[in-house]
Amino acid sequence: MSHKITKKDEPSSQKITCGIMKELISSRDFFEMNIVRVEIIDSTKRHYHKKLTEFYFVLSGTIDVDIDGEVRHMEEGDIIMISPNTEHEAWKTSEKAEILVIACPPWVEEDEIQV
């Protein structure tokens, strides 16, 4: 496949721990990463990943991200890279918040360790 366009209303919504997720690019499309759009409703559970690196890009609203016990405030347009084996959790600090999450390699359940 030479390219893929995903329109914003195409992916089906899936309820996850922290909100509503729409997978925009999956490991079936590109084996090295996946990209999801998340409307944050609640906080994530504190966790880390053994192998994957995550990027959170704030599309709208504001969020706080606790990285190894240090809380970082993020606003629209901010991005954070979270390396493997880094404990983290995130929650919205505005009425509505939406983020783009890029996971490399793609997220798989067995890589996420709850703490």
- Closest of 34, 37, 16, 13 to residue 25, by C-alpha: 34
Structure letter (DSSP) for residue 43: P
Q: 19 φ, ψ to 5°?
A: 165, -140
**Residue 15 and residue 83 in contact, taking contact as beta carbons nearer than 8 Å:** no
Asked whether the predicted pLDDT for residue 1 surpasses 70, the reply is: no
Angstrom distance (rounded) from CA 46 to CA 67: 10
Q: Which fold has domain 21-114?
A: Jelly Rolls (2.60.120)
**Residue 39 and residue 100 in contact, taking contact as beta carbons nearer than 8 Å:** no
At which residue do the structure tokens 């009425």 appear? 95
For 12-44, write each residue's pLDDT tens digit: 888 888 889 998 988 888 888 999 999 999 888
Q: Specify the pLDDT at position 15.
A: 87
Angstrom distance (rounded) from CA 15 to CA 64: 21
At which residue do the structure tokens 């609203």 appear? 61
At which residue do the structure tokens 């999450």 appear? 101
Percent share of the chain, pLDDT over 90: 63
